[in-house]
Structure 1
């Protein structure tokens, strides 16, 4: 099977300079399969098998695997190969706490710098989420959901922190998808972002922080408050 192609309209994550377009397509394909559980946690990925599947060189496969490694979706170990990361509640909980701190502080800075200019982009991402939800495409919904949050934080102008948030976002989505008891209706998932947009549109930073805080801490159910243990 040749490498799958992806719509150019999809939000594009930051890609290291060494990554070719072909390796990026393979990275996106493997990311989808890992997030949806089509490639199971703790299972091995063999470069030669992937090279044959996508009809590319092993070097191209290594580029794709390095991008997945940067997101923490795979672990690459010398002389031991590549293993898909586990998907544990304790990891997801810590990453959600970290995400909460990053986003809730970042939104104030983003609003101070960009104000109402943020709103159109946020509405665009919400519309894309709603379209993916209507199509029943859980992965595409997660892509646009991550783009919503990453795009809002990007305006805080804290580039070294952006990759940290990106990792938090994808692991939270993966955990929710791979644990059916944590899932909710896809359209509800999309529409939960409206209250954030409303607060930003009103220019109310306090309300935006409150909306983001509630949104993040209720992504998955870890009990009365995911922040309680860190208080």
Structure 2
């Protein structure tokens, strides 16, 4: 795993928290990496919306204001709900089987308490789900905006209650696809976004 991937995973899992300073010298020691590698990783994380860099101060894990969170999740809702409605039903058995296999790995990760596996399977599930639309431009936009929300979603990724809810909603999406119920699929995708958004907002004093 590259330094970039390691840092991204740490942010996703909440091991690096919003506003935490990312010091180049400390990262060089921790990862036995050269300065240009560290700087390149921080630049790419900034491009992805996970890190912000301040002149003469340094790099920090991105912290969002309440308005930024609402705006980002409004865009995510538009993209994901629209994409869900574009998925042609019935879905071919082989593509639905692929989604089911990924979700079973997600289940196994939750049951075993393996958060890294849960996170990887979750990202694969959503890539496969929205990939059913066969709209690569829209799927890429969904991926980029989900990436920006990593630091926001980190506040719920270790919550057993959230993980169980996520698991139930994933299976509800699969059942909706199996039954050709586009309305239920779209509404489940909409609801699926709310827990991480609301949990992050609840931690902000200016969320009202």
2:69 aligned residue:
92
Q: How many equivalent pairs are there?
A: 198
Q: Which has a greater percent of helix? A: 2
User: For 1:100-115, what aligned pairs fall within 5 Å after superposition?
Assistant: 100-111=77-88, 115=92
1:200 aligned residue:
177
Cα RMSD for the two superposed structures: 2.9
Q: Any idea what the Cα deviations from partners look like across 1:6-65, whole Å, max 9, x if unmatched?
A: xxxxxxxxxxxxxxxxxxx21221112223332232232222321222112222223322
User: For 1:26-65, what aligned pairs fall within 5 Å after superposition?
Assistant: 26-65=3-42
User: For 1:16-165, what aligned pairs fall within 5 Å after superposition?
Assistant: 25-77=2-54, 80-111=57-88, 115-165=92-142
Matches of 2:130 and 2:58, distance apart in 1:
34
1:15 aligned residue:
none
Shift of the 65–151 alpha-carbon distance from structure 1 to 2, 3 Å rule, reads farther
Contact 1:65 1:74 in 2 (8 A): yes
Scaled by the length of structure 1, the TM-score of the pair is: 0.71
Residue 203 of structure 1 aligns to a residue whose secondary structure is: coil
Shift of the 35–88 alpha-carbon distance from structure 1 to 2, 3 Å rule, reads farther
Matches of 1:163 and 1:74, distance apart in 2:
20
User: What residue ranges of structure 2 are gaps of 5+ in the alignment?
Assistant: 200-208
Shift of the 144–34 alpha-carbon distance from structure 1 to 2, 3 Å rule, reads same
Residue 184 of structure 2 aligns to a residue whose secondary structure is: helix
Cα deviation for residue 83 of structure 1 reads: 1.9
Contact 1:88 1:175 in 2 (8 A): no
User: What residue ranges of structure 1 are gaps of 5+ in the alignment?
Assistant: 6-24, 223-231
Scaled by the length of structure 2, the TM-score of the pair is: 0.77
Shift of the 81–219 alpha-carbon distance from structure 1 to 2, 3 Å rule, reads closer
Matches of 1:59 and 1:89, distance apart in 2:
34
Matches of 1:158 and 1:56, distance apart in 2:
38
Matches of 1:143 and 1:127, distance apart in 2:
12
Contact 1:102 1:165 in 2 (8 A): yes
